[in-house]
Each structure stands twice: as structure tokens, then as C-alpha cells.
Amino acid sequence: MNKIVYTSLIIGLLISTKVTAQYLPKNISEVDIAKAHQWVDKTYQSLSQDEKLGQLFIVALYTNKDENHINQVRNIVTNDKIGGLILMQDDAAREINLVNEFQQKSKVPLMIGMDAEWGLFQRIAAAHKFPWAMTLGAIQDKALIHQMAAKIAEDCKRMGINWDFAPVVDVNTNPNNPIIGNRSFGSEVNNVISSALAYTNGLQDNNILAAIKHFPGHGDTSTDSHLDLPVVSHQLDRLNNIELAPFKALMDKGVGGVMVAHLYVPSLESGKGIPASVSKNIITGLLKEKLGYKGLIITDALNMGAVANKYKPGELDAMAFKAGNDIMLFSQGVSEGKKLIQKAIDNGEIVQSRVEESVKKILLTKYFLGLSQYTPKSPENINYDLNNDSHKNLVQNLYSNALTLLKDDQKLLPLGKKQVYYVPLEEAPYQTFASQLGLETQVIIKKANEINTIPANSTVVVGFHKDNSTAYKPYKISAESKKVLADLVKNQKVILDVFGSAYALKDIDISKVSTVLVSYENNNDSMTAAANALNGKTKIWGRLPVLINDQLRAGMGIDFNSISNTNTNVSSTTFTTSKQQ
């Protein structure tokens, strides 16, 4: 068969089956594509209507809940023939054993997803934590983000996970955003796009599906959609230029999934109070028809207060499917939802071809992810496999590359062997930073109430150590810490290191602070990276990913490159506001 005829056959097959997929594995051949569609058609024809509808649902599996919960999930997998699971907290070995069991019970292998924006640690405490997106947004070498996502993909495969519900591509223009914040790559569209593309490719180049979220853009909200329905009130021009821009850019790059948010956007939905996640205007009209997206469309979790407080389980699922979603995530009423969808089909409100479109799209994606047959995973040594030196070394390199130097007026860096005083402030642990700093420098720790004992004109490192136990902790600095900093700069040469969100500097007077470094997070890896940089062992070249205030704008930062114990401060790009590439 010549190539022209064969290509025509493939195109004809794609048209005849009415199924498309945005995601394709790397180096896939036309023969493999043909086999995929043959498997999809054969599998689809083998399913009853009830089994087809089951493919539209993903439910949550927690291993930190009781046996009653496990049995409920077991019954849903067995009786409702669902399409997949989202793994929640918290035991990796138990999750693997349960997934193995449930896969054996499933006629069509389940698609297993997880929120793993900062790696599997987001759900599994024994795993190693990767940096939050805001930290990654400060990194100039985006290849490092690809490298990180590839490692997350490796961890996902080890667990039998096929879909990472990441990355967040919301442009965080609101410092008071209670739910996005650290989860966003920043406030600049171009930086969000380049960072998210590296993350997405890192996953999908390694055959783990990505899902950009939260369409049509959750970055400028002041309400947590887990609790209530946020409103995005911008006009269409602004939405196109900011909120929608990353989605439009990335959808053309083969991203396999888009997650739709529980947001009310009046400029896109005329029906008062209708969330985007159940809006036909937004999902079908905008995402599918106007923007031409062909990949899997999945709701944000249907147990979130923004929608769960307003609609009944099942009813919400049917509304979401009618609107154009392919998959209802975190369904609270699978059997009810299936009945209501079927009722809508019987009444002519939904055409059967919509079921065929979504189910075949799901099946095709499953095939491309290697799920035409399931190979059980082993729970043996899983905690070590998810948390070892390969993770630690990569993560410390990421934090090192994110470090952002905003000032070094008195050329205090590198610290070298000189004696410094260290004043830890705020509520989180600081011991790792102090000990790592002390490997090269003579460090004397002083508490806030002891600063009057520090000799005048000393070099003093002040650490703002914010609680980073979750991505949603407040970033604001206390009045007490601000006063300590203000008192110190009167007589001392101060280096301020922010172990927390860059937004912590929003209302901090740094005009008289000699040196300001943003380390973004407070954990052992970030503190080690910061200590190494202050001691001159690594280069500093991160850039602010967010607009903080009129003085501290996105893109600002100083390049500092030194060999330990020498003072080579390169600052030709000081406070540059050019967009990151």
C-alpha cells in the first residue's frame, strides 16, 4: 500500500469514528494510530450503554479514610463501571494495592489521576516535595522545569498514575487570591506560557497526560472556589489578553486535557450565576467550537463548595456533561448522574453522538497512555522510590535557580568566612538554614529580643521564615517582624532573606536594607539552596515572577555569580523588567 493511499485511510478512519485526541505519544507511527482507533472502535462496540456512561466519571480514592469509604469506591468501580480514579491522601503502598485490585475488576482499564502540581507529595507525604509554580516561575532556564516534570512523570508511572492534573496556567494578577497564589507561575502571561509549556512537555514527553487548569482563568479571584463561587468580572478584551491567553497558546501545543473551573464569568456566560464548569456557552461555545480544542475536557472537582452547595449530586454531573465536559471529576453521585444523562438522551436533550464522542475520546487517550492492557505495579520500596537522592539533588537545583536577588547595595555577598549574626523571624523552622549557612560562615544566632546585643555595623542576616506547610498559608509579615527589621537597619548591614511568597514584600520597606534575597519557600531544600548561594557556592539569577508593588515589578532581579570567597558581583541586568523568555 503506497503512502498516499495509507494516509487517506488513516484520515478516513479518523472521520468515520468521529473521535479525536489532542494528545499523541512521542514518535507514534501511522500504524500505531490505526491500531489505536481499531482498539477504540472494538472496545466501544463491546460496551453496554451503562458501561459507556460509566467511562465519563472519575471518583476519589482516599487511603486515610475508613474501610467503609474503600468499600464504597470498590462498589462504584464494580457496579457503575467508572472510567477512572483520582488518588487522594495518603498511603502509597495501599493505593497501589487498591489500584491493582480495581484495575483487575474493570472491563476497561481505569485512568488514574492525581493532583501532583508539586509532585506526588501534594497527596503522599512520604514523597519528595517539588517547588510550587511561583518558585518555578522565577527560574530562567525553563529546561529545568521540563526536567522536574519528567521526574514527576517517572514517579507517576511508578504508582500507576496516568494523568497529572497540572499545571496551573492561571495568571495570578491578584496578590489576595486565596486559592491560586503559589500555584501560579506568576503574573506575566509570557512567563506563565513558557513555564507551563515546559511542565506540560515534561509530563507528556514521558507519556503522562497533563491537564491545564483552571479554564477560563482563576488568577484574579478573591474567593476560594472550594468554599463558594468566585466571580471574574473582566470584560472580553482583558480576558483574551490575560486569563484566556495561556490556554489558547498551550492548546495548540498538544496538551491532552483542560480542566474547567467553578467560576462565574459574566462576559462569557449571560445566565446569572452559572459556573463555567456547567456552562455550555463557555465549554462548547468557547472552548470546543471557537478555540477548537479537541482534547479531554474535565470538570474541576464536583465536591467543591462553589457547585456542590448549589446542585444535587447526579444533577450536577448531568449538567456538566450537557455543557460539553467529557469527564466529571470527583463525582458525588455516579449512579444518579448516569440515570439523569440517560434520561436527557431519551428526552432528546442530549444526542447519543455526544456520548460516543466523549467515550471514544477517553478510550483513545487511554490507549495512547498504554492502558489497552494493565500491568500491575509493585508496592515494594515505593516510599524510597518516591523520595531519594535523585529527587533531593534535582529539587535543590530548582530552588537554587529560582533564588532572586533584588538588592546588594553594600556588596555583602558572598559571605565567605566572615562572622555574621542571624535573626530568624516569623513562625516556621529555620534550623536547616542556620546550620547550612554555618558550614562556610561563622554564624551567631540571635532571637528578636536579643538584637540590641549585636555590635553596631555588623553583618546581620534576617530570615523571614513563613509557614509553608500548605500552599495556601498567609504570606503577610507580622508587625513585630517589620519592627525588628526596621530597628536592625539603623545600625547594621542587613541581608534579608524571604523564605516565603514574594508577595511577603508587598508592604515591607526595603529602602534601607542592603541586600534582599527571595527564596520563595521555607523547607530544607530551599534553605540549603539559599545558604549555598549566600556563601557564594552557586549562581543567583532568578527573576520575580509576580508584580509585588510599584517598586518591585515582575522580571526584576540581579545576576550574581561568584566563586566562594571572591567578590564578583555581576549586576548588568539589575532590576530589569524585560519579560522572561
Q: What values do phi and psi take at 200, rounded to 5?
A: -60, -45
Asked whether residue 274 is assigned to any structural domain, the reply reads: yes
The verdict on 281 and 344 lying in the same domain is yes
Distance CA 510, CA 508 (A): 6
| Amino acid 225: pLDDT | 84
Give the number of C-alpha atoms closer than 13 A to the C-alpha of residue 551, restricted to the C-beta side: 11
In order of 81, 366, 459, the CA distances from 107 in angstroms are 8, 13, 67
Which residues, given as ranges, of the chain have pLDDT below 50?
1-17, 564-581
The verdict on 354 and 478 lying in the same domain is no
Nearest to 223 by CA among 213, 237, 233, 210: 233
Tell me which DSSP letter residue 377 carries. Answer: P
The total number of structural domains in the chain stands at: 2
The verdict on 348 and 431 lying in the same domain is no
- Grid coordinates given for 406: 533584588
The verdict on 335 and 371 lying in the same domain is yes
Distance CA 139, CA 403 (A): 8
The verdict on 342 and 409 lying in the same domain is no
| Amino acid 247: pLDDT | 98
The verdict on 416 and 375 lying in the same domain is no
Domain that holds residue 427: 403-535
In order of 267, 268, 276, 416, the CA distances from 271 in angstroms are 10, 9, 10, 63
Distance CA 481, CA 428 (A): 13
Give the number of C-alpha atoms closer than 13 A to the C-alpha of residue 176, restricted to the C-beta side: 4
Asked whether residue 444 is assigned to any structural domain, the reply reads: yes
| Amino acid 138: pLDDT | 98
The verdict on 345 and 465 lying in the same domain is no
Give the number of C-alpha atoms closer than 13 A to the C-alpha of residue 72, restricted to the C-beta side: 15
Tell me which DSSP letter residue 383 carries. Answer: H
The verdict on 323 and 423 lying in the same domain is no
Distance CA 530, CA 461 (A): 12
| Amino acid 516: pLDDT | 98
| Amino acid 313: pLDDT | 83
Distance CA 560, CA 415 (A): 13
pTM (2 d.p.): 0.94
| Amino acid 250: pLDDT | 97
Asked whether residue 134 is assigned to any structural domain, the reply reads: yes
The verdict on 355 and 431 lying in the same domain is no
| Amino acid 8: pLDDT | 35
Distance CA 503, CA 181 (A): 9
What CATH number is associated with residue 226?
Answer: 3.20.20.300
The verdict on 315 and 432 lying in the same domain is no
The verdict on 362 and 411 lying in the same domain is no
| Amino acid 563: pLDDT | 57
Nearest to 362 by CA among 467, 209, 571: 209
